Chains A and B, each alone.
Chain A
C-alpha cells in the first residue's frame, strides 16, 4: 500500500503550530502546497496523456484560485490574462476566415482526440455540441455554453466577406483560437492556441457559424 503523503505532509505543520488532536485548519496556501504534492504523487503518464499536461499556466492557476476562494477573479489580473492570451491568436495565413460548413458540422459533432485512449493519428474533434446548441436539426446538444443557433444571422452577417462583417468575423476567429483573450476564465477550450483544431478545421467551424448557407443561419 502506498504510504500516506498526507500523514507525512501534515506532521510538520502540526508540530510547528502545536495543534491538538481536534480538527484543525491550515492556512489556504498550505493546502495549496499539499495539493501540489498530492498531484505529483497521484498521476502517471498514460498513452499520449503525459503528466506534463498538469503544468499550470498563469491563466489556469489564477482562475482556479478564484474558484477555490469562491469569488470572481481580480479585474486587473483578468485584464492581464486577456492581454497575454490575445497575443497568442494567429490569424488565417491566407486572410480567408471561412471554409466549408459541411466539414464544420462534422468537426462540431466529433468529441474525439487527445485522451489517453486516442493516439497521435486521431483526428481531433471540436466537442462543440457537447456544450452548445448549433443547428436546429441536432437535438442532442449540451447547455454548458450559450446556444449558437442563428449565430451569424443574429449578428447581421449576410455577407461574411463584407467590411460590415469584419469585426464579428475576426472576433469569432479569435474566440475559437483562444477564448481566454476575451474572457479570462472562460470554460471554453483554447482550440487554436492549444492545438486542438488546426487552421483549416477552424475555418470549417467558422463557416458553420457564419456562412449564410449554413443550417445554423436558416
Chain B
C-alpha cells in the first residue's frame, strides 16, 4: 500500500495552480488507478463470493451451484453481461443482485425480504455483494449483450428511460443532469454519458467495483442507491423496479461494452 500513499501525496502536492496542474492532477489519478489494478482488493471479495457460492448454507443447507442466472442452472460464464433479463419463474425482470436473492430464497431457504432490508455491508447483504462480485468476474472481458427480447424487458427499458430523465428532489436533478452528455466532469471526476454505450469498462460495465476512498465493494444496487442519495431523492428500495428499470436502460445502451468487473474506483 506504500506506493498508493505516495501517489496520493503526489496528487495533494498538485493542489495549487492552473490548467496545467489540473491536467497533471487528472493524469495522476489515472496513474494511481493503473497502479491499483495490479493489486485490486476486489479479488478478496471475489474469493469470498466463490466460497459462498460453493458452500452449503441457509435453512436448507445447500449451495448456490444450481442457481439459474439466465443461462441455465450453474452457468456462470457470460451470465452477468446478459443481465438484467426476464425470468419466467419469478415473472420479473431481474438484475444480478436481485436474481441472486431469488436463488438464496428458493435454493437455500433464506428470507428474501429480510436480505433486501439488510443495510449494505452487513450480514447476508455483504455476502450478496461478494457473490455478485464472484458471478460478475466470470464474465470479465466479455461484452454486454442483454437478450432484450421480451415485452417485459421492453417495458422496463421504456420505464428506465423515463426514470433517467425524471427531475425531482430539492435540486431538480435527474440521472441525466450528470450522465446525459459526453465529455463532462463533476469537480475532476469524469462523467460517463449513459444514454449510449459509454465505452469499454465504463458506467454499467464497471460495477461491481472496489472503492478506494471508503475501502468498500459496491454492486450496481449500491451505486444507484448512492446516486439517488446525491440527487437528494428519497431512497430506492433494494431490488425495486426503479433500480431494475434503470439497469435495463443502462445495460441495453451499453450493448457491446466490455466488462472489466471487478473494477477499481477512487
Contact = CB atoms under 8 A, between A and B. Distances in A.
Contacts of A77: none
A142 B177 CA distance: 12
Contacts of A141: 187
A195 B170 CA distance: 8
Given A4-B90, A23-B150, A139 B235 contact: no
Interface in A1-17: 1-2, 4-7, 10, 14
Interface string B144-175: 00000111111110110111011111111110
Interface stretch (B134-142, B201-209, B236-244, B251-259): B236-244
A44 B121 CA distance: 20
B92 A64 contact: no
Given A60-B168, A115-B229, A139-B17, A5 B234 contact: no
A39 B244 CA distance: 12
B234 A46 contact: yes
Nearest to A10: B155
B40 to A, nearest CB: 25
Given A14-B151, A38-B245, A189-B171, A31 B159 contact: yes
B18 interface: yes
Contacts of A46: 234-235
B64 interface: no
B185 A143 contact: yes
A73 interface: no
B50 interface: no
A49 B234 contact: yes
Nearest to B168: A54
B13 to A, nearest CB: 13
B129 interface: no
Given A4-B91, A53-B233, A143 B21 contact: no
Contacts of A130: 186-187
10 contacts: A2-B116, A23-B149, A26-B158, A42-B236, A44-B235, A67-B165, A144-B186, A144-B191, A194-B172, A196-B171
A-B complex: 3 closest residue pairs judged by Cβ atoms: A42-B240, A42-B242, A46-B235
